[in-house]
Amino acid sequence: MVMPDEVYWRHDNWRKAQKEMVDDILDALNKKQHILCHAPTGMGKTDASLSAAISYALANDLEVMFVTPKKSQHKMAMQVVDGLRAKYNLDFEAVDFVGRKDMCVNEDVLELDNRDFYDVCQMLRTNTQKKEADLVEGGYCKPFKEGMCPYTEAMRRAANARVIIADYSYVFVPWISKVFLNATKKLLINQIIIVDEAHNLRSRLLGALSYGVRSGTFSKALDEMKLLKQHYKDEKFRTFHKWANMKLKGEVEVKLTEKEIKGFFGEIDVAKLIDIGKRWIYKGGKRSACLRIGEFFSLLGTIDDTYFTYLRRHENGYRMEIKCLDVSRVIGIANKAYAMIGMSGTFYPLNMYRDLFGLERERTILKTYRSPFNAENRLNLLYTGATTLYEKRGEQEYSKIGGVISRCADATKGNVGVFFPSYEVLDGVISYITTNRKMFVQRPDMKKQETEKLINEFKSGSNGMLIGVQGGSLSEGVDYDNGSLKCAIIVGVALDHKSLEVSETIRLYDKLYLGKGKEYGYFYPAVNKAMQTAGRVIRKEDDRGVVVFIDKRFEMKCYREGMPDDLVLWTTSNPEYFIKEFFDGKR
């Protein structure tokens, strides 16, 4: 392999640390090494990673896959690619894939959940696709009037593409990746994989690889069989509710073994259930209970020690779930690629992500870059006079927290955001907040359109108080541009509720990662939520703002180790005094 004679760069200048990141990536690629980059907001990570990867790929006849969870990043990545092609007159194909479901314009199947959608889509495309061309005709799958399936057309073009921009699933969800790589004739060994917003990769895959069924699903499956006049040994479907109640014995949730599940249900004819489900969809059903149950038992027969199964009480019934706890073997497929570039503005601690991603230690470089923004533009304060520690929760603590929030808000010139560890704490504190600001309060049952409206109304003013939770849609992935968030108040440590899933994760991670179970599975994920929230304040070079952390636990070693080394917290009992000085230009 050779270093490129020229680095293709669409801009006239470099931002601070961009050139360093490009050089580091090129050096890693030349050694066929992975590189994980903690690169703060404003660095221009997309430009740096794609420019380096494309320059190297063109010099060495390799290909680039840029994968991201955010639809907005697809557009940005394509802008980089188009800019490079135009400036240097480069002749290579680039194809953009969002999720197959997002590309589909067949409204009849869009209400299916993701797993069921892929099964049904494959069936419909097989049944209605012309052999001579990538068109869909007649019957049930009728996406375009002219007969073109967007996914099929993109797949055809991808076979000859030098650069592919896609969702995580095309590389890292096994049953999607297998189909995608085979259809496009792509070999992993020739791929430079860029993972954008890489701190999200693990959680996205844990969700994609987990699966569950509710007690009501079994009742709906019986209805489907009856209407389709399909005969199936369904006695256990009728008595699942009683069995679940007996197994729980008054508990909220209990662990189940595969042996216990199969002991109750007996032999499940997975193929027949899936076939019945597909027939149901084909005849116009929006979603199929038989298909879901079939998929559940199909997965149950393949799980290993990185999964666990459990039963829990759910709304109006019970839920039986197969939960994936570790995706290192799945992400570790990147070890078969030419190299992987992972990047995020909240990618800390890097050694944790290297381990959880299953990347080869000796082959993985860890790089941390300083923020390109002036450190004096953001004031980080820590108030240790209150805590959301579970044992301390109550009227006295909530009153103290509400008072601090009120004083900080009064001292802030501009919009304020308050982010709690849970809706329970939010509900406990909100009545103690006194302010003349208009409150914009997020609720757990809000629909996407309602949340977007809430954000837009908040951003349009300058005297609002946005109230939500850490790790939620208000604190991650939202760009509070034009200085629309001047102060972020982070209330408490957003630890996951102690549950069977958390306990099993800690146990497994202790085993897999040399006793790091609590750090990797409990403490650091909570810190990451706080860091994501803090990152909402400064979005561009001339932004100025304040971040207030409220909880004495942020001083503890187990949490501080999950924070960037360059984060300086000023501990104070009077944060409002320093906030006022900051906005008055005295600090």
Distance between CA atoms of residues 213 and 296, nearest Å = 7
Confidence (pLDDT) at 491: 98
Residue 336 has pLDDT above 50, yes or no: yes
CB neighbours (10 Å) of residue 529? 23
3-state helix, strand, coil in the chain (%, to 5): 50, 15, 35
Segments of the chain assigned to CATH 3.40.50.300: 18-114+143-204+327-368, 375-583
Confidence (pLDDT) at 140: 37
Distance between CA atoms of residues 113 and 101, nearest Å = 9
Amino acid 73 reads Q
What three-state secondary structure class fits 61?
coil
**3-state secondary structure string, 111-177?**
CCCHHHHHHHHHHHHHHHECCCCCEECCCCCCCCCCCECHHHHHHHHHCCCCEEEECCHHHHCHHHH
Mean pLDDT value across the chain? 90
> What average pLDDT does the segment 320-338 reach?
97
Residue 119 has pLDDT above 80, yes or no: no
Topology of domain 375-583, CATH: Rossmann fold (3.40.50)
pTM of the predicted model as reported, rounded to 2 decimal places: 0.90
Residue 145 has pLDDT above 70, yes or no: no
Q: Tokens for 272, please give them.
A: 């027949």
CATH number of 211-324: 1.10.275.40
Instruction: State yes or no: cis peptide before 150, omega within 30 of 0.
Output: no
Confidence (pLDDT) at 80: 96
- Reported as a single tens digit per residue, the pLDDT across 33-74 is 999 999 988 889 999 999 999 999 999 999 999 999 887 789
Segments of the chain assigned to CATH 1.10.275.40: 211-324
Distance between CA atoms of residues 304 and 196, nearest Å = 29
Ramachandran class of 497: left when φ > 0, alpha when ψ lies in -120 to 50, beta otherwise:
beta
What is the percentage of the chain residues whose pLDDT exceeds 90? 75
What is the percentage of the chain residues whose pLDDT exceeds 70? 93
- Reported as a single tens digit per residue, the pLDDT across 161-202 is 999 999 999 999 998 899 899 989 999 999 999 999 999 999
Q: Are 492 and 393 in contact (CB under 8 A)?
A: no
Report the number of secondary-structure helices (H) and strands (E) in the chain: 24, 18
Identify the residue whose tokens are 């360059």. Answer: 566
Q: H or E segment at 277?
A: helix 270-282
Residue 393 has pLDDT above 70, yes or no: yes
Residue 210 has pLDDT above 60, yes or no: yes
- Reported as a single tens digit per residue, the pLDDT across 258-279 is 999 999 999 899 999 998 988 8
Confidence (pLDDT) at 314: 87
- Reported as a single tens digit per residue, the pLDDT across 155-170 is 888 899 999 999 999 9
CATH number of 18-114+143-204+327-368: 3.40.50.300
| Poorest-pLDDT segment among 113-127, 192-206, 249-263, 545-559 | 113-127
Q: Among 370, 353, 215, 235, which residue's Cα sits nearest to residue 293?
A: 215
Q: Are 491 and 289 in contact (CB under 8 A)?
A: no
Confidence (pLDDT) at 587: 66
Confidence (pLDDT) at 461: 93
Confidence (pLDDT) at 513: 97
CB neighbours (10 Å) of residue 491? 30
Confidence (pLDDT) at 125: 62
Residue 286 has pLDDT above 80, yes or no: no
Distance between CA atoms of residues 489 and 550, nearest Å = 7
Confidence (pLDDT) at 216: 93
